[in-house]
Amino acid sequence: MAKLTFKTDLCKGCGLCVDACPKHLLRLSPDAINKKGHHPAELTDEAACVGCAFCATMCPDCVIKVER
């Protein structure tokens, strides 16, 4: 099973990872706000994630660590 770790405070809420996910499992959190004042990205369904790392590849800020 894949595991994603988000360095939430580095996230700028650009949403490039959301578009990159082939299974549409990511979203910008509607409730949470990080230190920078952005809605950070979050994974909606951990079990469905295969750890392809497309999100991390598109992320300009190295927010996401992917383990498999």
- CB-based burial label for 10 (10 Å; 0-12, 13-18, 19+): middle
Interface residue list for another protein (CB under 8 A): 2, 9-10, 12-16, 19-20, 38, 51, 53-54, 56-62, 64-68
CB of 44 to another protein, least distance (A): 18
Which of 19, 45 has the CB closer to another protein? 19
Query: Is the C-alpha dihedral spanning 58, 2, 44, 8 positive or negative?
Result: negative
In angstroms, give the least distance from the CB of 53 to another protein. Answer: 4
Contact 28, 15 (CB under 8 A): yes
Minimum CB–partner distance for residue 45 and another protein (Å): 18
